[in-house]
Amino acid sequence: VTPATPAPPEALVTFTLAGTRYAFAVADVVEVTAVVPVTPVPGTAARLVGVTAWRGRTIPVLDPRRNLKREGPEPDVLSRILVVGRPSPFGVLMDAPGRVLRPADLRPIQSGEPAEGRGSVPKLASAADGLVRLLDPEAVLGDVRTLVKERR
């Protein structure tokens, strides 16, 4: 990791998934849900864990580890999800919610590109109790077309 010029970070909502600590900027988080059943969808990429009902609508649930080339969970699990993204929200799989980190708690290690209308969001930050890997909702959702397996 190459230290870069520290940028003013935003408050972060942290969560753990398979032992790794992740975070979204607080402005990206819509809701932290209780345990919900996730239904897998046949013919879709593995990073789409499935779909679930949330506030009267159906939303996709994604596994951020799949983007990071890490091992994913078994589908059809009862999971906690963090609902992120506006105006089309989606769920991100998590094991447990963590605490909210304020800018003062964080020391950016690796700078990210400044998001439009916002300050720079560091990709990796150090808090008093360890490292936090920061996620961007758009990057987690990625190109939605790749969620469906190509027809052969």
H/E stretch holding 139 reads: helix 137-141
Beta bridge partners of 35: 80
From 48-56, 101-109, 112-120, 127-135, span contacting another protein (CB under 8 A): 48-56
Q: Where are the alpha helices (DSSP H) in 20-80?
A: 64-67
Based on the shown chain and the rule CB under 8 A, indicate whether residue 90 belongs to the binding site for another protein: yes
**How many chain residues interact with another protein (CB under 8 A)?**
35
Based on the shown chain and the rule CB under 8 A, indicate whether residue 139 belongs to the binding site for another protein: no
CA nearest neighbour of 130 among 23, 32, 5, 9:
23
Contact 54, 91 (CB under 8 A): yes
Contact 30, 86 (CB under 8 A): yes
Cβ at position 82, least distance to another protein in Å? 14
Based on the shown chain and the rule CB under 8 A, indicate whether residue 152 belongs to the binding site for another protein: yes
Beta bridge partners of 29: 84
From 1-9, 15-23, 41-49, 114-122, span contacting another protein (CB under 8 A): 41-49
Based on the shown chain and the rule CB under 8 A, indicate whether residue 79 belongs to the binding site for another protein: no
Contact 119, 9 (CB under 8 A): yes
List the one residue from 85, 98, 108, 122 that touches another protein (CB under 8 A).
85
- Binding residues (CB under 8 A) for another protein: these are 36-46, 48, 50-53, 56-60, 76, 85, 87-90, 141, 144-145, 147-149, 151-152
